[in-house]
């Protein structure tokens, strides 16, 4: 070793006097990242010396003076005088920041793919809880449901429309507090419960809600919810 520039000193953590006149391969390149020996004849620098041809490598490791690995890409260009190889010029670049950026980008892509998959699954699950509206002769019912815009935020929002035994159409809109799977589960229970109780007995809204609350507590559905519903024969509203 006859010359070391400041960049090489910084990357290796070794001042020039520590490198000059020493075997560079033995000093900082003789061990692979997994701890196994790196044979000299497989080193790109020594291959350039042996063949007289430039050798490039983009997946090498130099060992810093503190013992930490430094990923590098390098090119070794032999110096030829009078037909013989008298030395080699090694240029190398620290890839630490570039590889960290690649790992971060890959992790962000993985998280984005997971979030997209979770969002799609959550949307399908929530839609499965929301049945299509009936089509009575006297009324045209159309629904539009838009899930939360960010992440897999399923929740307790619901709509419902069904026919009573007397042919009246009941329209209901409700909301369970929360934007998670627990809220969606509670929504499914309360929606089904309210539908069954409303269909089962012809009574004032307050009585139906009182029964719904009693049954929900008995089933351990302890959550805050709001709802309003309308029947073609009248209007029932409850906060």
Closest CA to 212 of 226, 198, 231, 229: 198
CATH of the domain at 209: 3.60.40.10
Can you list the positions of beta strands (E) in the chain?
55-63, 69-81, 84-94, 156-163, 169-176, 225-231, 234-238
Q: Is residue 120 part of a domain?
A: no
Domain boundary residue, one of 71, 94, 117: 94
Q: What is the pLDDT of residue 165?
A: 84
For residue 69, tell me if it sits in a domain.
yes
The pLDDT tens digits of the residues spanning 54-67 come to: 999 999 999 999 99
Query: Residue 58: its pLDDT value, please?
Result: 92
Query: In this structure, are 57 and 140 located in the same domain?
Result: no
User: How far is residue 123's CA from residue 129's CA, in Å, rounded to a whole number?
Assistant: 10
- In this structure, the answer to whether residues 64 and 147 fall within a common structural domain is no
Same domain, 73 and 161: no
- 136 and 89 belong to one structural domain: no
- Domain assignment present for 100: no
Q: How many Cβ atoms sit within 10 Å of the Cβ of residue 22?
A: 13
| pLDDT value, residue 126 | 67
Q: Tell me, what's the pLDDT at 1?
A: 57
- Residue segments in the chain with a per-residue pLDDT below the cut of 50: 234-239
Question: What CA–CA distance (Å, rounded) separates 2 from 13?
Answer: 17
Range of the domain at 199: 131-238
Residue 67 CB neighbour total at 10 angstroms: 7
Model pLDDT, residue 237: 41
Last residue of a domain, one of 42, 71, 94: 94
The verdict on 39 and 88 lying in the same domain is yes
**Which residues share a beta bridge with 160?**
172
User: Strand pairing partners for 230?
Assistant: 171, 235
Tell me which of 70, 94, 118 is where a domain ends: 94
99 part of a folded domain: no
Q: Which CATH number covers residue 19?
A: 3.30.450.20
**Residue 11 parent element (H or E):** helix 6-12
Note whether residue 124 is domain-resident.
no
**What is residue 212's predicted lDDT score, i.e. its pLDDT?**
85
Pair 157, 231 in one domain? yes
Q: Are residues 153 and 227 located together in one domain of the fold?
A: yes
pLDDT at residue 163 in the model:
84
pLDDT at 47: 94
Residue 167, pLDDT score: 80
Structure letter (DSSP) for residue 91: E
77 assigned to some structural domain: yes
Question: Residue 1 domain-assigned?
Answer: no
Same-domain check for residues 63 and 155: no
Q: Do 140 and 220 sit in the same domain of this protein?
A: yes
User: Do both 142 and 216 map to the same domain?
Assistant: yes
d(CA 4, CA 26): 16
Count of structural domains within the chain: 2
Classify residue 125: in a domain, yes or no.
no
């Amino acid at each position: 070793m006859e010359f070391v520039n400041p960049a090489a000193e910084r990357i290796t953590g070794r001042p020039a006097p520590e490198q000059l006149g020493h075997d560079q391969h033995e000093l900082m390149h003789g061990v692979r990242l997994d701890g196994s020996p790196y044979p000299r004849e497989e080193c790109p620098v020594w291959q350039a010396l042996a063949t007289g041809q430039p050798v490039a490598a983009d997946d090498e490791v130099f060992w810093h003076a503190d013992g930490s690995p430094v990923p590098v890409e390098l090119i070794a260009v032999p110096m030829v005088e009078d037909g013989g190889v008298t030395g080699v010029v090694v240029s190398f670049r620290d890839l630490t920041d570039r590889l960290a950026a690649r790992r971060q980008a890959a992790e962000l892509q993985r998280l984005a793919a997971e979030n997209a998959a979770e969002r799609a699954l959550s949307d399908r699950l929530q839609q499965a809880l929301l049945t299509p509206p009936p089509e009575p002769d006297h009324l045209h019912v159309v629904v539009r449901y838009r899930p939360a815009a960010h992440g897999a935020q399923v929740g307790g929002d619901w709509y419902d429309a069904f026919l009573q035994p007397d042919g009246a159409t009941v329209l209901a809109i409700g909301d369970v507090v929360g934007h998670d799977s627990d809220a969606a589960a509670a929504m499914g229970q309360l929606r089904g419960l309210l539908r069954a109780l409303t269909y089962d007995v012809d009574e004032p809204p307050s009585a139906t809600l009182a029964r719904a609350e009693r049954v929900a507590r008995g089933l351990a559905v302890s959550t805050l919810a709001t709802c309003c519903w309308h029947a073609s024969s009248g209007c029932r509203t409850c906060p």
